[in-house]
Amino acid sequence: MYRLLFLFFVFSSSLTGLYAGTDSEYFYDFTPQANAIYERVMRLELDGAQADIDALRSTTPTNLVAYHLESYIDFFRLYLKGNERIDAKLEARFERRIDALEDGDQDSPYYNYALAEARLHRSLIDLRFERHLSAFRELNKANKLLRQNAKDFPDFLLTYKNLGLLHAAVGSIPPQYKWGVELFSSLSGTIAEGREEMELALTATDSPFHLETEVLYAFLELHLAGEPELAYQKINSLGLNPAENPVHCFILANLAMRNGKNDVALKLLEAQPRGGAAADFPYLDFMLGLAKLRTLDPAARVHFQSFNIRYTGRHFKEEAKQKIAWSYLLDDDLDGYARAMEAITGGSQAGGDQNAVREAARERAPQPGLLRARLLFDGNYCTRARAQLDAIEPNDLHPTEQLEYLYRTGRVLDGLKDYDGALSFYGKTIQQGRDNPAFYACKSALQAGLIEENRNNKARARAYFETCLDISPAEYKTGLHMLAKAGLDRVR
């Protein structure tokens, strides 16, 4: 969910050509100077872009484009580094920004649109810092602004790009969490509704925002519509420049890793742009470490260590320590594993961090063969992963490891396109692990549903997705249930 919303804000610039004539003292005019600032922001040259915004504001203080652009800068500063210490300062600037934007021309479609995007930026920061009630309030306000814009200016296609993604994201929320949305916000929608609205925005093929809309739509296909290969093909047709733009590198590597193209991702991330005027993007090194770990390269630990040094937030840090520990296991260094796991003290509520905390509490290292099979499968090296599993004697495993063995075997057979074999092992995992706190049974039900969906066996797919929603593991439950809910919506 975070990644989807991250890409939403990265590519929902919606400013090029922005102009509104008005009787108000304040106006929107996306001048060549503003366009140059926007380009710097999208290259993450945040300090230079801020200086340019200050210059723009000094020459034309009533042009609200400066406030709109500044919202992106504040979002990136907080999201890339996760530094909560500077959030109070930037939150005060957010309030001043809202006050300024509310002085704009209310008869312009950009009035509600710019306000909505500022509130969307703030809501995502609130989500990242786990201030959920505040995030819902901002999302609710943004949603109302966008809905009003769609009513007052139905031909203003930028509204449908943002509204469509919100509708699709809300439509993927599992039933057991709907009450929170309904209680705290006016948000509603379905994945199908969101796709239709995004497709409407895509009809403006001559729009300067067409690239952003294409990227957003591709990530909707990846995360919610179950079409990762289609999303990958779409992104690769857009002419992005990963060697010079770190955001482009993130997008392309992310899609590659989610399509089993680990070698492609590894090449992209090794060549990531470093230094220069762009703001630091530590998460790219986290991704590079992950890509190397999936080749069973212990040198991956260097990149996780780099991430933990440079990233000042709470998220992903415990997971990075866990991955460092795994890299020692790949070297058969149990002492190194233990030292790395002792550094895990608790972090964010993100699934990966919580999984790391649970592993540290178990005080038992992962079974080496299962770990290698897991990492190789995640990199789509399925034949090598199968060899690791074949070398394991299941009866020698701990009961939870036996459950993991069933799950990993199902996943590898799935990757090798032995779908009947995969379904057999998924079924055994569900049967034996339904009440186990590990995620294996829940994930098995989801994967079985995806197999049956791809076979067009909708009734069986529905049954598996519903089974996934009925299982409540202690880890990754929210994400798995969101994917199952999206699957149910597709096969109804």
Distance CA 363, CA 378 (A): 24
pLDDT at 348: 77
**Among the listed ranges 82-86, 135-139, 177-181, 386-390, which one has the minimum average pLDDT value?**
177-181
Distance between alpha carbon 206 and the CA centroid of its chain, in Å? 28
Task: Kindly tell me if the per-residue pLDDT of 21 is higher than 50.
Answer: no
Query: What would the pLDDT profile of 249-307 be if each residue is shown by its tens digit?
Result: 999 999 999 999 999 999 999 999 998 999 999 999 999 999 999 999 999 999 999 99
Distance CA 219, CA 165 (A): 10
Three-state DSSP class for 70?
helix
Rg (alpha carbons) of the chain, rounded to whole number? 23
Query: What would the pLDDT profile of 394-440 be if each residue is shown by its tens digit?
Result: 999 999 999 999 999 999 999 999 999 999 999 999 999 999 999 99
Strand partners, 243: none
pLDDT at 12: 42
The mean per-residue pLDDT over the stretch 343-355 comes to: 83
Distance CA 487, CA 454 (A): 11
- The ranges assigned to domains in the chain are 2-200, 282-362, 368-491
Place of tokens 């990531």: 272
Query: What would the pLDDT profile of 90-137 be if each residue is shown by its tens digit?
Result: 888 999 999 999 999 899 888 998 999 899 999 889 888 888 888 888
pTM higher than 0.85, yes or no?
A: yes
End-to-end CA distance of the chain: 23
Q: Which parts of 343-457 fold into alpha helices (H)?
A: 351-362, 368-378, 382-390, 399-415, 419-433, 440-454
Given a contact cutoff of 8 angstroms between Cβ atoms, the answer to whether 201 and 12 are in contact is no
Amino acid at 478: T
Task: Kindly tell me if the per-residue pLDDT of 41 is higher than 60.
Answer: yes
The mean per-residue pLDDT over the stretch 222-237 comes to: 86
Given a contact cutoff of 8 angstroms between Cβ atoms, the answer to whether 438 and 359 are in contact is no
Percent of the chain residues topping a pLDDT of 90: 63
Question: How far, in Å, are 188, 204, 371, 487 from residue 178 at the CA level?
Answer: 9, 33, 36, 16
Query: What would the pLDDT profile of 132-189 be if each residue is shown by its tens digit?
Result: 888 888 988 999 999 999 999 999 988 898 898 888 877 666 665 565 566 556 677 7
What's the topology of domain 368-491? 1.25.40
Q: What is the overall mean pLDDT for the chain?
A: 89
Given a contact cutoff of 8 angstroms between Cβ atoms, the answer to whether 307 and 104 are in contact is no
Tokens of 265: 């991702």
The mean per-residue pLDDT over the stretch 479-490 comes to: 90
The mean per-residue pLDDT over the stretch 367-383 comes to: 97
Quick one: pLDDT band at residue 87, thresholds 50, 70, 90? confident
Distance CA 100, CA 224 (A): 36
pLDDT at 326: 98
